Structure 1
Amino acid sequence: MDGLGEIIALVGISVIGTAFARKLGLLAPIVLVIAGLGLSFLPFAPEVHLEPEMVLIGILPPLLYVAAIEMSVPAFRFNLRPILLLAIGLVIFTAFAVGTVLHLLLPAVPYALCVALGAVVAPPDAVAATAVARRIGLPRRLVTILEGESLVNDATALVLLRVSVSAATGAAVGFMDVTVDVALAAGGGILIGGAAALVIAYLHRRIKEPLVDTALSLLTPFVIVLPAEAVHASGVVAVVVAGLYIGHRMPTLMSAASRLQTDGFWRIARFLLEGMVFLLVGLQLREIVRDLDTPWTEVVWVTAAVVLTLLVARFAWVFPATYAARLVPKMRQRDPSPTLSMPTVISWAGMRGVVTLAAALALPETSEVAYPRELFVWLAFAVIVVTLVLQGATLPWVARRLRVPPDDPTQDTLVEAATQNAASRAARDRLEALADGAPAATVERLREVAEHRVNKAWERLGGATETPSQAYGRLRREMIDAEREVFRNARDEGRIPEEVLRRAQRDLDLEESLLLRTTED
């Protein structure tokens, strides 16, 4: 019961912390990390040891999967060049930059192990990037680049970590060995993810029960990552590939009821997992500090050097990578050079997360090579806290100060209205083709529904205080409340059974959820 009680307490703290952060307009990851740091030194706080396998196999795959499902494949493909430059090029550049600085400060530590720590701290975190970038309203393309980077960079870092540790422990690591390792990790991940995506997509098409569809969606990331890791392929790549494919095909794979239920499930799952992740990171402080036996003066200098190298390396890579490719005329015509504010924000959005800590905890405790493993774990932890608190807390201010241009909501509404107009026209054409024999009143009502959807889309472009659609939504919600009260009274008086109330309540809830967007707009 003690273990169960601790889990319930941690979930409760993460929920309360997230709600508190949203109430005050703060970023939940920062609040939860700070809460974990404070709780870690309280005598009654649970001492939670974060196992690397629990993170890399149990927590990371579902978070990557849901992020990949929501990623726009056309946007990902259009931004593939900057994404790969960050996810592959920047990770390698950062790993060697940190490794070089660390080796200069700790010459007794083999260079390969210093590079291994560089690989540990190099990749920004998928959860932190998504939570922060979307929360502060960065432009859509910038968010796509940051999310795309964080989806792929873990694979690069983990492969580089494996190669560096092998080299440090005396294994023969030549060019061909590295090439084979990378090909197996990346290529194997793509093949396994693609094959699994086809199978999962086929099952989704065959399944008609929403509960079974949702259960399959929950199992998918674990079913993919386990065989991928078993054959030493990249489970991260496999999960991301499958998520991109299934998310892109989602409208044709699931019924409407399944999509609604699956979306609701992943919302709550991601909410709980993200909160738990950052709280668990903070709770590791007591154990990490207790195991640290390096003099504090040395710890401070080495920590400051590693953090500063990380910050400088990201700027040193992002700016040349942004503008050098556009020296090619064809590239410049297809994708004009952005203002300085865009690469500046990307450079500052380098928050690290739980994957960095898990990778550090997975560093080997080997007698073959003497190195300060506890110091390495501390450095990874310090990088997470400093980048998350420093960069995460100041990123909104940086974006405002640089006047990063947000997406134009009017343009989005205009495109939506034009597309809705074409969609409604197609719906009316389908109605006319199938209307023979149907009651005239029914056909006319369906025509009005199609017309109403078009009008609602165009109304949002106007400047009226309350559009007809918004007035309809407001009044209809009041009517729904009145209907609910009648059904509740009938149930309480014993005139209808509970099952009748639930069916009516579900129908009214669905209708009200459709009205929410109209009222909020």
Structure 2
Amino acid sequence: MDAEIFYVLVGAVIVAAIARWRGWPAPLLVTVVALAASFLPFVPEVEIDGHLLLNLVLPPLLYSAALDVSFVGFKRSLPQIRRLGITLVLLTSVAVGLVAWWILPSLTLPGALLLGAIVAPPDAVSAAAIGRKLGLPRRIMTVLSGESLINDATSLTLYRVFAAIIAGATLTVWDGVWQFLAAVGVGVIVGLVFGIVLHQLRMRISDAVVIGTFGLLAPFGAYAIAEHLLGSGVLAVVAMGLYVGYNSPRTDYTTRQQETPLWLSADLLLESFVFAYIGLQFPRVLSDLGGEEVGRILLLSGAVLLVVLVMRPLYVYPANLWANRQDRRRLERWDRSVASGAFDERRRESKRWKHYSAEELRSQIVRDRMAGLQLTWKDNAVISWAGMRGVVTLATALAAADLAALDTEPSHAIVVVAFVVTVGTLLLQGLTLPMLIRGLGIASDVDDEDDAKAIADIKAKSREAGTAFLAEKRVEWEAKYGEVDLSVFDAFTRRMTRVERDTDEAQQVEDAVARPSYDDLAALSRGWLQVRRGILLEERDAGNLDEEVMRELMTAMDAEELALDTRGATRQQGRA
């Protein structure tokens, strides 16, 4: 078994590498190749317990995705994310359950609803990969990524409830609601505790290898403890990832440079294996069915696939229109409040509002709370069609097949339907989504324009803050070293972030006058970088700078500091 898993893993990574090299969607190619290879007689049959697959693959993938999600963007897009990640999952579960119960009554209603919970949550890995490749606007990518972080929690909570009912437990609707709320609360609390602890370790330990190792272990710990406390392990991992990712710019740059390639490699390894496993398992699942069952279960699979495809656009457009209408009503009430003078009275009583004008607060509300107004019908078309299923659907179906309370036919039906929906959405939606994006002409041109303006503003603020910082340091240098070496300081100021190369020669001149050392100049460079980083964080926290742009600028500054440390290390070796 170990050798078979290794062969599958190596083959999946090779196919994924070819896909990345050619610019193709790696999940789709891996699935197609594995599906074709599964019919070859010499390809090994790999069987893995569904619970084991879920517990080993889901935590690191979720944590890595949460690290990359913009917390500010996630917060602004929370209305859409909540609608897709909670409400749509609930509605899809019910719709699939009713259709499945009607076609295959032997499933029973709880078993049919269990099937609905399994196939309800989309996996945004494929959609995000395609979106990044084709340059989807950031507003769409934020919604898709955010949805994938919370819909798994909704699905797994529903799975837990329906599995308990199948096992004989008596649960009311309010019991299910209470379980969901408890799972959310416990999961978020556990995740925040792990996130705070991990962040403090990242702030206090300078060894990037040790921190990277803690980062690899933390998602498994948060997931396991939250599940043990009957909370949502998914939300625990997501909360931890969002907290750590948001505070990552405050840690040492070596930690960021270490963890980025680490998680990219882990994602490639795990995603390649999961999608290869999806393709390899499908023929084996079909072969387990008896001759009389095949036709009826395939009919059920096709019907469920159709329901899954149709439910998303049928919900997305009306929900978006309703949300936009509510947002406009909220703005109308705000404008009436300002016109009647009620706003001025509330502003006098509010510590938060008293420093802002009515127009400034209105702009802030539009920016922070009216995210739904930013999505056009073209954006919603892409979101509606980006519903590919993946690892959660596959793993929970395999776990459901092991439930002792399920008979043979229902357990086989659940696994087959889950495989058909997963492979079907990956191939149907995944292959046509790029054509849809190109046909609608959706691109990130607006993002590029906004980013260019934001970067220009940041550079201006950085120059202003840097000038003040250097003016203060120049006074300190003049008091410490006198006028003799201010020329070196002024040369550094002109070059802004580069350490003057001539300082080594100046340092070798021995006389009675004190001279600035290389360490002084290096400290000056680091102070300059710190000022610039502070400006980035202030603008990010104020909502004036998108987090992805901030991370790109932060990466460039990290490279500057790495070059500074490398020069220092080389100089120390030269002296030795």
What band does the TM-score fall into relative to the shorter chain? 0.7 to 0.9
Give the match for residue 258 of structure 1.
255
Match of 1:347 among 358, 364, 384: 384
Q: Is the Cα contact below 8 Å between 1:79 and 1:145 reproduced in 2?
A: yes
Query: Following TM superposition, by how much is the alpha carbon of 1:90 offset from its aligned partner in structure 2, in angstroms?
Result: 0.2
Q: Is the Cα contact below 8 Å between 2:286 and 2:294 reproduced in 1?
A: no
Runs of 4+ that moved beyond 6 A: 451-454
Q: Cα distance 1:368–1:205, how it changes in 2: closer, same or farther (>3 A)?
A: closer
* Mean Cα deviation higher: 213-222 or 384-393: 213-222
Match of 2:427 among 389, 409, 415: 389
SS of equivalent to 2:444: coil
1:137 is aligned to 2:135: yes
Q: Report sequence identity in percent.
A: 37
* Mean Cα deviation higher: 332-341 or 430-439: 332-341
Q: Is the Cα contact below 8 Å between 1:129 and 1:150 reproduced in 2?
A: no
Distance 2:488 2:8 in 1: 54
Query: Following TM superposition, by how much is the alpha carbon of 1:131 offset from its aligned partner in structure 2, in angstroms?
Result: 2.1
Q: Is the Cα contact below 8 Å between 1:105 and 1:302 reproduced in 2?
A: yes
1:183-204 Cα deviation digits (max 9, x unpaired): 2211110111111111111111
Task: For structure 2, list consecutive stretches of 5 or more residues without a partner in the other structure.
Answer: 332-365, 499-527, 530-562
Q: Which amino acid aligns with 1:384?
A: T
Query: Following TM superposition, by how much is the alpha carbon of 1:19 offset from its aligned partner in structure 2, in angstroms?
Result: 2.5
Query: Following TM superposition, by how much is the alpha carbon of 1:21 offset from its aligned partner in structure 2, in angstroms?
Result: 1.6
Query: Following TM superposition, by how much is the alpha carbon of 1:407 offset from its aligned partner in structure 2, in angstroms?
Result: 3.7
1:246-395 mapped onto 2 (5 Å cutoff): 246-252=244-250, 254-293=251-290, 295-328=293-326, 329-330=328-329, 334-335=370-371, 336=373, 338-363=375-400, 365=402, 368=405, 370=407, 371-395=409-433
Task: For structure 1, list consecutive stretches of 5 or more residues without a partner in the other structure.
Answer: 455-479, 481-499, 508-521
Q: Is the Cα contact below 8 Å between 1:52 and 1:361 reproduced in 2?
A: yes
1:406 is aligned to 2:403: no
Give the match for residue 119 of structure 2.
121
Distance 1:396 1:442 in 2: 55
Query: Following TM superposition, by how much is the alpha carbon of 1:49 offset from its aligned partner in structure 2, in angstroms?
Result: 1.2
1:14 is aligned to 2:12: yes
Q: Cα distance 1:367–1:191, how it changes in 2: closer, same or farther (>3 A)?
A: closer
Give the match for residue 483 of structure 1.
none
Distance 1:318 1:344 in 2: 9
1:443 is aligned to 2:489: yes
Distance 1:369 1:385 in 2: 24
Give the match for residue 454 of structure 2.
415
SS of equivalent to 2:426: helix
Of structures 1 and 2, the larger Rg is shown by 2
Query: Following TM superposition, by how much is the alpha carbon of 1:16 offset from its aligned partner in structure 2, in angstroms?
Result: 2.0
Query: Following TM superposition, by how much is the alpha carbon of 1:222 offset from its aligned partner in structure 2, in angstroms?
Result: 1.3
Q: Cα distance 1:50–1:185, how it changes in 2: closer, same or farther (>3 A)?
A: same
Distance 1:188 1:233 in 2: 5
SS of equivalent to 1:156: helix
Q: Is the Cα contact below 8 Å between 2:106 and 2:410 reproduced in 1?
A: no
Give the match for residue 431 of structure 1.
470
SS of equivalent to 1:48: coil
Give the match for residue 515 of structure 1.
none
Q: Which amino acid aligns with 1:112?
A: P
SS of equivalent to 1:372: helix
Q: Cα distance 1:287–1:449, how it changes in 2: closer, same or farther (>3 A)?
A: farther
Q: Which amino acid aligns with 1:69?
A: L
Q: Which amino acid aligns with 1:244?
A: L
SS of equivalent to 2:152: helix
How large is the Cα RMSD of the aligned pairs? 2.5
Q: Is the Cα contact below 8 Å between 2:184 and 2:232 reproduced in 1?
A: yes
Give the match for residue 180 of structure 2.
182
Distance 1:174 1:268 in 2: 44
1:314-352 Cα deviation digits (max 9, x unpaired): 111111111111112245763436332111111100000
1:154 is aligned to 2:161: no
Match of 1:230 among 228, 231, 238: 228
1:38 is aligned to 2:19: no
Give the match for residue 219 of structure 2.
221
1:431-481 Cα deviation digits (max 9, x unpaired): 221233263344234323338999xxxxxxxxxxxxxxxxxxxxxxxxx9x
Q: Cα distance 1:194–1:99, how it changes in 2: closer, same or farther (>3 A)?
A: same
Q: Cα distance 1:354–1:367, how it changes in 2: closer, same or farther (>3 A)?
A: closer
Distance 1:75 1:433 in 2: 36
Query: Following TM superposition, by how much is the alpha carbon of 1:374 offset from its aligned partner in structure 2, in angstroms?
Result: 0.9
Query: Following TM superposition, by how much is the alpha carbon of 1:235 offset from its aligned partner in structure 2, in angstroms?
Result: 0.5
Query: Following TM superposition, by how much is the alpha carbon of 1:367 offset from its aligned partner in structure 2, in angstroms?
Result: 5.9
Give the match for residue 242 of structure 2.
244
Query: Following TM superposition, by how much is the alpha carbon of 1:405 offset from its aligned partner in structure 2, in angstroms?
Result: 4.5
Q: Cα distance 1:189–1:111, how it changes in 2: closer, same or farther (>3 A)?
A: same
SS of equivalent to 1:124: coil
Q: Cα distance 1:384–1:430, how it changes in 2: closer, same or farther (>3 A)?
A: same
Give the match for residue 48 of structure 1.
46
Q: Cα distance 1:366–1:391, how it changes in 2: closer, same or farther (>3 A)?
A: closer
Give the match for residue 200 of structure 1.
198
* Mean Cα deviation higher: 442-451 or 64-73: 442-451
Query: Following TM superposition, by how much is the alpha carbon of 1:148 offset from its aligned partner in structure 2, in angstroms?
Result: 0.4
Q: Which amino acid aligns with 1:362?
A: A
Q: Is the Cα contact below 8 Å between 2:188 and 2:236 reproduced in 1?
A: yes
Q: TM-score, normalised by structure 2?
A: 0.75
1:355-405 Cα deviation digits (max 9, x unpaired): 101010111545645452112101101111110111011101111112224
